[in-house]
Amino acid sequence: MVIKTFDAKGNKIFINLCKVDEIPEPKEKTESELLSLLESDDITDYRVPLSMLDPHDELDKCKFYFRAGKPAVVYDVAINTRFFEKIKDNQVFRDFVLEVIQQGLENKYDIELQKGGYVILRNRSSIGDLKPHRIRSITGPYKPPKRLIEEISPSEVEPRKHINFRLSRKDDMLLGEFHLPTIVSFCTYRRKKNRFIQHL
């Protein structure tokens, strides 16, 4: 499916909308629920999984065979196969998905597209060659990445353990006795002429 629209400056924009089985299908919604989302200013409450590739320049087909086409920007967008079939036959779902795609393109590529007024080119399957989409497979529920810095509550911090010890001096030696119940091996150090000698 090819969608023709325009950016804020009046430049022609094409969107190649294709289907991929590996992209998950969005949660089921009724037409009335989608209409209420479309009427609101924010449609981020409903997520439509999609894949967007970087834009590429193509020549727009000219109606005069002796003239070269004008350059146009093309975006390749993929959605779930079953959901693609649903939007083909349902105007409400199609309007909603195209609104989601428009917001996604504007946010990702820092562009501004004209609101509404898109045209579906029935006689074109794509503008330019379709590029393969790399879909990341996710097993299990999605888990957002952890923050690099995370605050720890005082209850999670282990208190510093107090070590019981006793120091004593004998001749030229300083003896230290330490109570370490979790230690399974030890060694001794003897000081001789400003050097410590280890005894295992």
* pLDDT per position as a tens digit, 52-64: 988 998 887 655 4
* Residue 156 DSSP one-character state: G
Q: What pLDDT sits at residue 171?
A: 78
- The pLDDT of residue 64 is 46
Can you tell me the distance from the alpha carbon of 198 to that of 84, in angstroms, rounded to the nearest whole number?
Answer: 75
Kindly report which listed range (12-26, 48-62, 127-141) carries the lowest average pLDDT score: 127-141
Per the listing, tokens 């060694």 go with: 187
Contact of 43 with 37, CB cutoff 8 Å: yes
Higher-scoring residue by pLDDT: 126, 43: 126
* 77 has a pLDDT exceeding 90: yes
Q: Are 143 and 87 in contact (CB under 8 A)?
A: no
Among the residue ranges 34-48, 85-99, 148-162, the one predicted with the least confidence is: 148-162
Dig out the tokens for 39 from the structure.
């009427």
Rounded CA gap, 20 and 196, in Å? 70
- List of residues 6+ apart from 100 with CB closer than 8 A: 43, 48, 50
In this predicted structure, the answer to whether residue 188 has a pLDDT above a threshold of 50 is yes
Distance in angstroms (rounded) separating the CA atoms of residues 91 and 54: 27
> What was the pLDDT predicted at 4?
92
Q: What is the pLDDT of residue 91?
A: 87
Question: Which alpha helices (H) appear in the chain, and where do they start and end?
Answer: 31-39, 81-89, 91-109
What Rg do the C-alpha atoms of the chain give, in angstroms? 33
Beta bridge partners of 6: 12
Structure confidence by residue, pLDDT tens digits, 98-108: 888 998 999 99
Could you give the CA distance from residue 196 to residue 198 in angstroms, rounded to a whole number? 6
